[in-house]
Structure 1
Amino acid sequence: MPIPEFIVETRKKIGTDLMWVPSVCAVVLRDAASDSAWAVPDVLLVKRSDNGEWTPVTGIADPGEEPHAAAVREVAEETSVRVKAAALLGVGAVGPVTHANGDLASYMSVQIRCEALDPAAEPVVGDDESVDVGWFPISNMPVTDPKWRLVIGDAAAQRRHPAGFAPRMGLTKR
């Protein structure tokens, strides 16, 4: 998806100055093919076109859009996988980020665990934000950024032991 229209219009007024943006991170899990009690779930990842990094699906929430709805929409747009929001994992700030066009932004990221409605569905690149998408075992995923590894770990922990999970406040603090 291109830059949301509300961001384009705001940028006309503020230029490249720092902008605070509501965003979501959707960590989509599915059961692994193994029947082992020790099997870790698979996670849906996208390889970003802007920096080549593998990450969970992320995106900007539209004005008035609920975070869980934004997460479901972003996953569908970026991977064509249909999901349902399952749990709040946490909230934290990301940035500031300097984008290739010079725009400065900090993101208030709401991380949400999602479950695939059809776990056998194969993802496809749905827009120009990604160059590749795929399912990966959490134990062997190509994610290198510590904040995203932490969020994915939180998703697996919350899924396995929901009663004992407390959402993370901040992307580096519990």
Structure 2
Amino acid sequence: MPTPKFILELREKIGHDLLWLTGITGVVLNEQDEILLVRRADNGQWSLVAGILEPGEQPAAGLMREIQEETAVEAAIDRLVSIESLPPGSYPNGDQVQFLDLCFRCRPLRGEPRVNDDESLEVRWWPLNDLPPLTDREKVAIENALSPDPMPIYVQSAD
């Protein structure tokens, strides 16, 4: 999916300056101890399903939308896993961004995973004991989603 219209409109006003956005990440787990991952078209890396909330969109609804748009799987939210401010980053075009990420544990309801948009090269279920390379942040998100503790994880200080 191309850059959301609201971001393009903001970029017309602020150029490449730092833009604070709300990100959503889904750890989608099935009953076979598998996780739904996408291989991103922009960098070829395997990743959790993630996206950006539209203005006024509720986080759970936005994540269910992203999962369906990217994988053709309908999912339900089980719980909030974590709330985290990610470090600032930049895109190849020079746009500066920083995300407040809300990570949720999800379960599939129906649908077979497939590439469903132009953001992914592949979509599939991966056994939890045989995952492809993932970022450290994604590994922690999976670990937290698998925890029996239902309380969300959050950073309490800048230390």
1:35 alignment partner in structure 2 = none
For 1:134, the aligned partner's letter is: R
Please report how far the alpha carbon of residue 143 of structure 1 lies from its aligned counterpart in structure 2 after TM superposition: 3.5
SS of residue in 1 equivalent to 2:56: coil
Instruction: Give a deviation string over 1:99-145, Cα, whole Å, max 9, x none.
Output: 12211101110001111003xx4211111111111100111111421
Structural mapping, 1:10-29, within 5 Å = 10-29=10-29
Is residue 2:35 matched to residue 1:50?
no
Whole-Å separation in 2 of the counterparts to 1:95 and 1:133: 27
1:78 to 32, 46, 70: 70
- Would you say how many aligned residue pairs link Structure 1 and Structure 2? 156
Structural mapping, 1:1-150, within 5 Å = 1-32=1-32, 41-118=33-110, 121-150=111-140
Whole-Å separation in 2 of the counterparts to 1:156 and 1:87: 11
| Structure 1: unaligned runs, 5 residues or longer | 33-40
1:165 alignment partner in structure 2 = 150
Instruction: Give a deviation string over 1:49-81, Cα, whole Å, max 9, x none.
Output: 112221110000000111111110000000000
Whole-Å separation in 2 of the counterparts to 1:144 and 1:51: 12
Task: Let me know the Cα RMSD of the aligned residues.
Answer: 1.4
**What is the TM-score of this pair, normalised by structure 1?**
0.85
Percent sequence identity is 38
Whole-Å separation in 2 of the counterparts to 1:26 and 1:148: 10
Whole-Å separation in 1 of the counterparts to 2:83 and 2:56: 18
Instruction: Give a deviation string over 1:8-30, Cα, whole Å, max 9, x none.
Output: 00000011111000110011110
**What is the TM-score of this pair, normalised by structure 2?**
0.93
Whole-Å separation in 1 of the counterparts to 2:115 and 2:57: 23
Alignment check: 8 A CA contact 2:46 2:134 kept: yes
